[in-house]
Amino acid sequence: MTSSPLLDRRHLDFVLFELLGVESLSGYPRYAEHNRETFDAAIDLAHRVALEKFHPHNRKSDLHEPEMVDGGVRFIPEIGEALAAFNEAGFMASLADYEQGGMQLPFVIASACDAQFSAANPGTIAYPALARAAANLLEVYGTEEQKRLWMLPIVQGRYYGTMCLSEPQAGSSLGDIKTLAEPQADGSYRITGAKMWISAGDHEFGENIVHLVLAKIVGAPAGVRGISLFIVPRWRVQSDGARAERNDVRLAGLNHKMGQRGSVNTFLKFGEQGDCHGYLVGEAHQGLGYMFHMMNEERIGVGMGAVQQGLVGYLYSLKYAQERRQGRHPDQKDPTSPPVALIEHADVRRMLLMQKCYVEGAIALGYYTALLVDQQRDPEESVRRESELLLDLLTPIIKAWGSDYSLKSNELAVQILGGYGFTREYPVEQCYRDNRINPIHEGTNGIQALDLLGRKAMMQGGAAPKLLFGKIAQDCRSAAAHESLAPYAAQLGAALRLAGECTQAAGARMAAGEARRVLANAEHYMTVLGHLTIGWLWLRQAEIATRALPSAQGDDVAFYQGKIQACRFFFATEIPRIEIAAKLVREADASAYEMEAAWF
């Protein structure tokens, strides 16, 4: 079992195998050759490569960010070396079929492997993460020819990929993009426009970059219905895949970021010379839907990546609090008595417990969400349908709750280190800066909350929250059988009723034409469902710990006790927030909605 400053392996095993039982995935024909041993081996390998090749340059790439030189980008060499090691270890193809040379891992285990790299170096992992998401999209929507020319080289680790959605004037509102695609007689398109914020947009780590670009075909309908998706390579290729001309995609500038500085962020111009070739993916005007395929997976990845930074900060501040000695207990009057370790102070323990609750709660949610992706291969149609509904509902929650609360966690880590936490000599300030992007990109957390309340909670007559609430109610009944957990089960049951009421009230008001006012409370709804879901997962963890404790040995005793205590803390300090948030949603509070711009 591997553990390090980047990983609490006992906790990861607990979530994957005791809470979620992911070994059962080897019952699916696709994963028949996998078992607990192969899962462990993949995670161990990822952890080793992450520690040896990704972690050592995490600080260096923060201090030496990529520079624009002669129209290209200059990087520190360690990034390319780490990516080569990542490819060599096979992680570019962790999800791909065996026939493609892949590991054919379940998504949940591939996510656990990725988590090792995100913890070690969130900037460097961005390159393969984006490339793999592009390959996954092409696997689903590309033609056989497109897969051969553009997807397979990514899986083989030869090409990289990007997602080009945002433009300077169109970030959250993609319906307003201006990039144009003009049809050509040979079936290709000529692309013209500019894309802003493109991560991994220019580099030479591989032979080519496959940009997946949203654009509007000339004459397309206005808004999101007119958006199509194009493959726009950095280098065009011949029909046998051999490199042809350089495509007309130009690096126009770099954005200088607060964190994750190793992942270059670019402003790209397409077709300035009128010769940018693009190839339509799927059908015209369906591009945003296809891109959502990529973005949903990315959103789980963003939530999970955020939580890894939360975990690194938590583990570091825990070690610091165990080692640094400062002050005495309030009732210790003798000034000559030795100072106690920080962790002896109840307020420091409070900050550690908060981090533990946020981070370990969100890790459980992240892997549960990833498991739902795998369950869409279940032979039972009902399981597939249910997992899809839950996945739709929980994706904005892992993205937004995961990134908001892991950032709060990083803030607490800085606080525990006191003045040292504010300096660049200690790693927690970089964790915070690196993590600060996660509530912003892949759809801001404000947009995630609107999606959750306005769409996901309401689709199919509210089917998704009903399903989730049913599962929570069932687990409350199970936990209530344990005397020590019965009060928490009752508390969560009460929160569940509030969540149900506010969901219904919001739906009724929206149906009555009050959507704007209701959606002004979307962030509060995110708190209701986020806290409810995390509370549910804490109760489940506490129940497993309660069952395991009587026969636990060695370090497991403290591990399970810690789980039960963290559940107690979350229910004492966080679950009560659901009541306030649910009231705001139920009553469609108008205090923000009715504030006029002129009154600021």
In the complex, least distance from residue 523 CB atom to ligand FAD, rounded to whole angstroms: 10
In the complex, least distance from residue 255 CB atom to ligand FAD, rounded to whole angstroms: 7
Question: What is the DSSP code string of 123-141?
Answer: TTTHHHHHHHHHHHHHHHH
Q: How far apart are CA 278 and CA 270, in angstroms?
A: 10
- For the chain, helix, strand, coil in percent to 5 are 60, 10, 30
What DSSP designation does 338 have? P
In the complex, least distance from residue 480 CB atom to ligand FAD, rounded to whole angstroms: 40
Q: What are phi and psi of 408, to 5 degrees?
A: -60, -35
Query: Between 260 and 491, whose beta carbon lies closer to ligand FAD?
Result: 260
In the complex, least distance from residue 529 CB atom to ligand FAD, rounded to whole angstroms: 18
Residue pair 163/131 in contact by the 8 Å Cβ criterion: no
In the complex, least distance from residue 137 CB atom to ligand FAD, rounded to whole angstroms: 13
Query: Between 22 and 134, whose beta carbon lies closer to ligand FAD?
Result: 134
Query: Between 162 and 387, whose beta carbon lies closer to ligand FAD?
Result: 162
Residue matched to tokens 């080009």: 164
Q: What are phi and psi of 376, to 5 degrees?
A: -75, 0
Residue pair 6/51 in contact by the 8 Å Cβ criterion: yes
Query: Between 357 and 519, whose beta carbon lies closer to ligand FAD?
Result: 519
Query: Between 446 and 562, whose beta carbon lies closer to ligand FAD?
Result: 446
Q: How far apart are CA 143 and CA 152, in angstroms?
A: 12
Q: Could you confirm whether 323 is annotated as catalytic?
A: no
Q: How far apart are CA 178 and CA 167, in angstroms?
A: 8
Sequence-separated (6 or more) residues with CB below 8 Å from residue 125: 54, 114, 117, 118, 305
Query: Between 85 and 447, whose beta carbon lies closer to ligand FAD?
Result: 447
Residue matched to tokens 């399981």: 383
Measured at the alpha carbon of residue 52, what is the angle toward residues 81 and 311, in degrees to the nearest 5? 115
The residues binding ligand FAD (CB under 6 A) are 162-166, 171-172, 197-199, 257, 265, 437, 440-441, 443-444, 446-447, 450
Q: How far apart are CA 457 and CA 26, in angstroms?
A: 32
Number of other CB atoms surrounding residue 542 within 10 Å? 25
Query: Between 127 and 571, whose beta carbon lies closer to ligand FAD?
Result: 127
Residue pair 577/531 in contact by the 8 Å Cβ criterion: yes
Q: How many helices (H) and strands (E) does the chain have?
A: 19, 12
Catalytic residue among 65, 297, 442, 523: 442
In the complex, least distance from residue 333 CB atom to ligand FAD, rounded to whole angstroms: 51
In the complex, least distance from residue 439 CB atom to ligand FAD, rounded to whole angstroms: 9
Catalytic residue annotation? 442
